[in-house]
A and B are shown apart, each in its own frame.
Chain A
Amino acid sequence: MKRFIGFIKKEFYHIFRDRRSLFILFGMPIAQIMLFGFAITNEINNVNIAILDHSKDETTKEIIHKIASSKYFTITASILNETEIETAFKKGHVKAVLIFEKDFSKNLGKENNATVQVIADATDPNTANTISNYVSAILQNYQQQINVAVKTSYQIIPKTRMVFNPELKSVFMFVPGVMTIILMLVSAMMTSISITREKELGTMEILLVSPLKPFQVIIGKVVPYIFLSIINAIVIVLLGIFVFNMPVQGSYFLLAAESVLFIITSLSLGILISTISASQQTAMMISLMALMLPTILLSGFIFPVSSMPLPLQIISNIVPAKWFIIILKGIMLKGVGIQFIWKSTLILVGMTLFFIGLSVKKYKIRLE
C-alpha cells in the first residue's frame, strides 16, 4: 500500500509540473462549458428584424408592438419599399423582414383574412426556421386574443408543452455533452499519453523490472486521473447548476455513480490505446481521431442520432458517449432512477469489461 501511495504521489508531480496537462485538465473544461453555454446556441434571442408596413393601421401596430415586446426580436428598421429589402439582407443588419399587406385591418374585418409575409435570411437555415416559427406563434397568439370576443366556427388549437426543458434552453443539451467530452478527453487521452510517455522514456521498463506487478503499475497511473476526472465532473455540474440554471431532477448519488462508471470506461479505453501505441504522438492521434470525433458527432450530443442514416445509427451504438449522454439527460432533466437507465448502464459496464479484457490480452502478447 505504501508503494502505491508513493506511486500516486509521483504521478501527481508529473501532472502538476506540466503546464500543458494542467491546462487540458482544468482550463479546457471551464473554457468549453462557457463556450458551449454562451456562444454556441440554437435559441434565438434579440434577433434583428425589419418591418415593411403597407397599411400602418391599428391592427398592424398592435402586432408590431407584440413582436417588439417579445425577447426574441428587436425591430431595428422600418423599410419603406420592396427594393430596400434585398439591400437590408445583403448588409446583414437584419435576419428577417415582415411585410404587412395594404389595408390589413380592413381585409381582416371584411374578408376574415389578411396576409403577413415573412422573409427570412436562410444563409443560416436553422435560425431562419426558428424565426419563422416564432413569428407564426406570435401571430397565432394575437389571433386568439382578438377571437375571444368573436365566436368563430371550428378551430383546432394545438397546445404544445415542452416537457423536461420548457424553455428549450440549448445549454441543457450542452452541459451533458460537454461533460461527456471532457471526461472522455481527460480520462482516455491523458492516461494513454501518460502511459506511453513512460514507455518512450524507458521508465516503463524499469517499473516492469521492479517487484511491482504490471497491473499495479497501470492502476497507479490511472488512479490520479480518476480523482481529477471526478473533480472535473463536479466542476461541470456546478457550473451547469449555478451559471446556466441546469436542473438536476434525479438523485445526485446516481449521477455521481454513473459518472464514475463512465470515467472508468474512458480510462479503460485509454489503457487500451496505450497498449497499441508506442509513442505519445500516436496515443494523442488515436485518442483524437477514434474518440473525440465520434464522441462529438455520433453521440447525439449535437446531432440527433435518430436523424442519421441507418449505418451511422448502428455505429453510434458502439460509442460509449451515446449511452452516457442518455443517462445524464435522464438523471438531470427527467429525474429518472436506475430503473429507466439500467440498460444504458449495463452497456457501459459491458464495454468497460471488454476494453479491460482486450488491454490485458494485448499487454500479455507484448510481454511474450
Chain B
Amino acid sequence: MPDLPRPAAEGLPTRFAEWFATRGWEARAHQLDLLRLAGSGRSALLVAPTGAGKTLAGFLPSLVALAGNGPGKARGLHTLYVSPLKALAVDIARNLEAPIAEMGLDIRVETRTGDTPAHKRTRQIARPPDILLTTPEQLSLLIAHREAADLFGRLRCVVLDELHALVTSKRGDLLSLALARLHRLSPDLTALGLSATVREPDELRRYLVPQARPAEAEAHETPEPDSPGTRRREGTRRGGTRRAEAVIPAPAPDPGPPMAELVVVRGGAAADLRMLDTGLRLPLAGHTAWQSMPAIYDLIRQHRTVLVFVNTRLQAEYTFQELWRLNDDVLPIALHHGSLDATQRRRVEAAMAAGQLRAIVCTATLDLGIDWGDVDLVINIGAPKGASRIMQRIGRANHRMDEPSKAYLVPGNRFEMLECQAALDAVEAAAQDTPDARLGAPDVLAQHVLGMACADAFDPLRLYEEIVSAAPYAGLTWEAFEQVVDYVATGGYALRAYERFAKILRGPDGLWRVRDARVAQQYRMNVGTIIEATKVKVRLARALRGRPGSVLPKTGRVLGEIEEDFAETLTVGDTFLFAGEVLRFEGLAEDEAMVTKAGPGTDPAIPSYAGAKFPLSTFLAARVRALIADPFEWDRLPRQVSDYLLQQRSRSILPGPRDLLVETFPRGGRFYLTAFPFEGRLAHQTLGMLLTRRLERARLRPLGFAANDYGIAIWTGRDVGERIGFEPGFLAELFAQDMLGDDLEAWLDESAMMKRTFRQCAVIAGLIERRYPGQKKTGRQVTISTDLIYDVLRKHQPDHLLLRAARQDAATGLLDVKRLGMMLQRIQGRIIHKALDRVSPLSVSVMLEIGRERVYGEGADEILAEAEALLLEEALS
C-alpha cells in the first residue's frame, strides 16, 4: 500500500492520535497531508478511491482546529460541508458524532437541508453550529440571506464532497458562484475538495480557488468605489481600454491560473473485473441481456450482497421482473430507481443498510451515496458507456480500498461485448473519461445575480470581479455580465417594455437593489438548477365491476411517479411496466394516474417511460474503433464477436480507427446508406436529421433514418450509392463540416429537444415559475406553455440571453453537437465508401434499430430476433 502511515506526531494532537489508536487505526498519509495544508491555510484537492477515508480527511483539519479553540459560545460558523446528496449530508453528520463524542470535543455539528424545520433554520442563522452540513441549493439560499456576511464572516473551511460529480453540471456552476461569494466574505477561507479519480484534476483544482481577474479587468483602472459618477461611464471606458490592448505588447509569461494543492491517493487493490460470457450467442441489437439472467441469478445466489446496475429505468424494471421469475429460492431482491415512490426507495435503502437484501437492481440513483460495506459484487448490465462511470460503480462494492472490488460486465448484444472489452482495457489502464470542464451557464448566473441582490445592494463592478473569480465564469466578459444584469432587472428585451416593473433597480449611489420582498420571495422559491420533469403520481385504483373504464379513485397506494409527458401519451387500457409490475392505465384523476394490475401473463404494450440513457463516451468509442481495426486484438474478444468481425471483413471493409465507413446497398425496393462514426446515439440522431436534409436537397428522397450508439442507417427512394459512384466529391460534401451551420440552426429551432432545453433554462433563470410536485394545475390561462414563449422569442429576439443559454446547452447536452463537430473534423478525407449489393454484417446491427425505438417486451423481441435472423441470412448467403 503506497499510503503508509507516518509517525503519529506530525501535526496530529495527542488527543487525536490516541483516538485513532483506540480504534486500532493510524492516520493515513493523505489525512495528515490535508491537515498540514489546511493548517497553513492552503486549499487542496484530495483525489482518492472509495474507501480511503476521504471524508474523515476532509474534516480532520476542522476538528483539530476546533478542538484547540477551547470552549466559546459565540465562535461562529467554522466549517461548511457541501454534498450533492441530502442523504449523504445527514449520514456524515451521524458519522462525525462518534469521534466528537469519543474525544470529548466541544463541537456542534448540524445539517441544513430542505427538511430542516423553519425554527431550526432561524436559529442556525442566529446561533450557527461549528460545522454545518448542507447541499449546494441550501448554500445558495444561505448566501442570499440578509445575514450572510455575518454568518460566513468567520468561516475558515469549506469541504466540497463528491466534487467530480458536481462540477460537470449546472449545479456545479451554481456552487462555483457560491464559493466565490464565500471567498469574498471570508478572504482567508480554505477550500478542500474531495473527489474520486478524474481525468483532469487541474480543472477541479482551479475550481476550488479564486481565479485571477482577466487581463481586461487588470488593465482597467478600478474606479473609486464611492463615486457614482464614474460608474455611469463604465461601459465606454472599458471599450476604450480593450481596443487599446491590441497594441500593448504581450505581458510576461503567464504563470497559469491559480490552483489548489493536490493530494492523490493511489488506488488500492486492482479491481477483479470480468465480462460475463455465458457462451450463449448474443443478438446484434437489443440491451435486455435476457440470455444472461440465469447466470446473473446464480451470481446473486453465490454472493452476500449484489448491486445490479442498469442504464435505464425501463431496463431496471425488466431485469427485476426477470430475476423474480427465476427466484426459486425467494431471495430478497429489491428494485431502486428514480421514479419509485420516495418512501419505497428509503425502505429499500434501509433494508440494504441493515444487510437484509441479497441484491438491488438499480440505476444511476445509486452511483453515488452512502457506503454499504457489505456489497461483495457489482454487476453492470448493458454497455458500460464510460470508463469512469464503470469504475465509480465498481467502487460501490467492497468499500475497503485494500481489498479488490469484484465486478462483472454483462453485455446485451455483440456490440456491447466490444464495448465491455474496451471498458475492461480502460479500467486495467486506469484511464478516465470524465467530461471536460464546463463553461458557466448564463441562466445559472442570472439566478445567482438576483440572489446577490437579495443578500445586499451590489456594486456591479465588484460583483463582476467576484463572479470571474469562479473558474467556470473566468472567461465572462463585462458585456456578457451586463446583459445578465439587464435580464435580471427587466427581462433583457430589446423592446424596453418592462422598465417600470424592474426586479432590481440601480440607485443614485450606483448600487443595484432588489425591488421588494416579493421578488426576494420569488428568488427563494426558484433557487437551484435541478429541473425535475413534471411528474404525476401512479396510484393503484380499484376497477368497478360491470363498468369498464371506471375506477374508484384514491383507493389504493401510490406506486411512484411517471413523467407527465409519458402519462399524456397513455390512453385508457394501455399496459406498461412499472414498479416491477405490469399495470393497466385507467385514466387520470386530478393529478394522478389511476392504474390497476394487469392480469397475469399480460405483455406491457407501451414500451417505456423516460429514463436517462447515457451516450457512449468519446474515449470508449475511440477504444472500440481501435479494437475493431486491429485483428491482432481480436483473440481477446469472445469468439462470436471475432467471427462477426471476420465476416464483415470478407463481405465489406473494416474501417481504420480514424476512418468513417459508409456502406450503400439496395434492399426491398429502397436504397440504404449506413455510416459508423461510433459517437453515441445523441450525436448520431443529430447527424441523421442533418444528413436527411442534405439528401433531400440532393433529390435523393430520404424516407427515414435510425441511429444507435455506433452508427446510423438512412433509407432513400433513389439510389444514393450510384450517385456517390458518378459524383466523386458527393460523399465528402454530404459529410462536410458546414452542416453544423444553417442546417443545424434551422433544425434546432424546431426540435422538441431544444424546446425542452429552453424550458429548463427559463426555469433556472426565473423567467417562468417552477412547478412543484403535488402543486395542482391551476387551469387555463394561468400557466403559459414555454413552447409558446419559445416560438415568440425566437421570432422576435433570436439572440436573447435564454436562447443563447439553450443553444449552449444543446452543444454539449441532449444534442451533442460539439461531439458531432469533432467527428466531422476527424473524418475529413477519411471517408471510405463501399457499395454493396446487400446488407453487410456491420450494417445489420443498425438496421435492427429501425422501428425498434418503441418496441419492447417479449413478443417484440421475438419479432426482432426473427427479423435479425432473416437479415443475417441475407448478409451471409
**Chain B binds chain A:** no
B positions within 8 Å CB-CB of A = none
